[in-house]
A and B are shown apart, each in its own frame.
Chain A
C-alpha cells in the first residue's frame, strides 16, 4: 500500500450505532488530519494531530472522537450521530517543517450515511 488509505470506503449507520473510521499513511509524515466534505460547503477541518498530539479541534461535537495511536494511524470514532453528519470524511497527512511546498496528501475518503 502506498500513500494514504482509508477504510471503510462506504458506511451506513443508524443514529444509535457506534462505528470507527480508519486512516493509515505510508509516507512517514508526522501530521494527520480529519476533514468533513459536505456538498456546497467549504472543506471543513475537524482535527489535526502532530507527532501523535492533538493540536487542533475545530469545535467538533463530542459524538466525533479522534484517536492517534502512532504517527501512521488515525481513527475517528463515531457514536450517536445525526443525519446531518452524513458526508465524505477525508483523512490527510503532511510533513510540517520542511522547506518548500507543504502539500497535504489525501486519502480517498469514507462516504458516511447516517439514517
Chain B
C-alpha cells in the first residue's frame, strides 16, 4: 500500500536552516503537502506542491520535489524558536479522498 516515511526528530540551532525530508511510494500522487502541528493544536497547512513542479518557494520555506526518487523536502531558512513543532508530510491522489500522512518530524530549535 501507499507509504510516507519521515525521520522522527531533527534538532537545529536558531538562525540555521532546517531541512526535513520525506519519501513516499505512490507515484500517482497529485499533491504533496507539509503540515505543521504546534503543541496542543491540530495540523495546519504550511505549503503544498503540485506533482508536476520541482520547487516552490514561499518566504522562508522552500519545497523541493524529486519525483523520480519520490523524495520531498522542506527547507526552513533562518529557523526560529517559534518553528519548533511537528512537521507532517502528506500526499493526496486525485480521485480519492485519502490523504496519506507520515509519522511527523519533531523539530526542536535550540536558542
Contact = CB atoms under 8 A, between A and B. Distances in A.
Q: How large is the interface on B (under 10, 10 to 19, 20 to 34, 35 or more residues)?
A: 20 to 34
A31 B42 contact: no
Contact of A109 (B42, B100, B101, B102): B42
A50 interface: yes
Interface residues of A, number: 24
Given A42-B4, A45-B99, A96-B97, A108 B40 contact: yes
B98 A45 contact: yes
A40 B103 contact: yes
Contacts of A42: 4, 100-103
Nearest to B42: A106
B98 A48 contact: yes
A17 interface: no
Interface stretch (A61-69, A79-87, A97-105): A97-105
A76 interface: no
Interface in B4-46: 4, 8, 31, 33, 35, 40-45
7 closest A-B pairs (Cβ-Cβ)?
A106-B42, A43-B101, A106-B43, A103-B45, A48-B97, A108-B42, A42-B103
